[in-house]
Amino acid sequence: MFPARGAAAPRIPENLGPLIDLAYAAGVFGPVTYEDLKLIQKIRNAFAHHVEPRYLDNLPIAPLCAQLKLPDVAWAGRTPPATPRARFLTSITIVFEGTSGWQAQRSAPNVLP
């Protein structure tokens, strides 16, 4: 489980993209979640690579949040979250719950859309 003393610890990839691609290829989630995770990666990069303050409801981030599909899927038949922040947090929550051990204990399949 842990590396032997003196051995190099496993590195977490610095880029989220290959992890998203690998999980999608392994069937952990479907195309809707894949596309949302790619958008979440872009949103994260918009915050990480700029010195000036950024907010979810400002350009260029708000339009990315509007493209997230998981809130629409989760709220099918009801009004989905409308604000960029609500859409972002909803997508993150759905991905977290769908890929965590908590989801695996439920009767629903452990594959996100």
User: Does 7 reside within a domain?
Assistant: no
Q: Is pLDDT above 70 for 20?
A: yes
User: Does 69 reside within a domain?
Assistant: yes
User: Does 1 reside within a domain?
Assistant: no
Query: In this predicted model, what pLDDT tens digit does every residue of 81-90 receive, in sequence order?
Result: 999 999 999 9
User: Does 77 reside within a domain?
Assistant: yes
Closest by Cα among 67, 60, 66 to 46: 60
Query: In this predicted model, what pLDDT tens digit does every residue of 47-63 receive, in sequence order?
Result: 888 788 888 999 889 99
pLDDT at residue number 13: 65
User: Does 91 reside within a domain?
Assistant: yes
107 backbone dihedrals φ, ψ, rounded to 5°: -75, -20
67 backbone dihedrals φ, ψ, rounded to 5°: -85, -10
Q: Is pLDDT above 80 for 104?
A: no
Q: How far is CA 4 from the centre of its chain?
A: 32
Domain range enclosing 86: 16-101
Q: Domain count of the chain?
A: 1
User: Does 38 reside within a domain?
Assistant: yes
0.85 exceeded by the pTM? no
Decide if 17 contacts 98 (C-beta within 8 A): no
Task: Identify the three-state secondary structure at position 53.
Answer: coil
